[in-house]
Amino acid sequence: MAAPPNSTTFSGDVWAELRLADARDVPHIHRLTHQMAEFELLTDLFAATEELLTTTLFPSPTPPPFTSFTALILDLSPSPIVPDASSTIASRRLDLSASPLADPEAAAFASPRGGGRVTAGFVICFPNYSTFLSKPGLYVEDIFVRAPWRRRGLGRMMLSAVAGRAAELGMGRVEWCVLDWNKNAIDFYEGMGADVLPQWRICRLAGAALDKYKGSQEEAAGGKAA
């Protein structure tokens, strides 16, 4: 099958790197998040802006990785990537000799790191806490791989890297959510050893439902003083 017009074809050896993101990656994180919202049929909830992503994910000074909101970027390169001890979380080589890959968005997702790298996915995670275990953990808010790069073992690489870091830090568990209709994802997570817990439900206050509680602390304090 011919590659789509204006696409970039990757073949032979390709190198993948999962690395710490920085503010230069915000445009790609924003675009990837929107693609994820489209895939999950949740674009009506999408309100992210590049400005908000920059201020919330990359404050100054930036906390150490995995102690606050942590963004990881998945880059692919047609040439070997030399791991950087300050930013590389995981890396691996892919052999695409038998199945070359056409990426129609390669130009739009050119990595700010240069060198012909292409950004193909991202992870957002942050610490949580289990009183049952009396240990901190990591919550994976988002894990996403662009369509052309799926089913190449990259999602497993990303989630394994996060789980590995949690284990190395002595954390008790890693948690995330999955949509109940996404059977492929559920099967994938179970295949990695995760328990899917149908007895739990997500409870959420957001938007107007959250805003109506503004000032409730002052009211409670005033009532207590009275």
Count of positions (residues) in the chain: 226
Give the span between the Cα atoms of 181 and 179, in whole angstroms: 6
Task: Give which of 188, 168, 171 is closest to 179, Cα–Cα.
Answer: 188
189 belongs to the catalytic site:
yes
Identify the H or E element spanning 220.
helix 216-225
Task: Give which of 114, 106, 64 is closest to 87, Cα–Cα.
Answer: 64
Q: Which amino acid is at 105?
A: E
Q: Which two tokens stand for residue 10?
A: 């990757």
Half-sphere exposure of 205 (CA within 13 A, CB side): 6
Contact 125, 141 (CB under 8 A): yes
- Selecting among 129, 139, 189, 213, the annotated active-site residue is 189
Identify the H or E element spanning 222.
helix 216-225
Task: Give which of 120, 146, 177, 18 is closest to 185, Cα–Cα.
Answer: 177
Please give the backbone phi and psi of residue 77, each rounded to the nearest 5 degrees, phi first: -135, 140
For residue 13, count other CB atoms closer than 10 A to its CB. 14
Where in the sequence numbering do the catalytic residues fall?
189
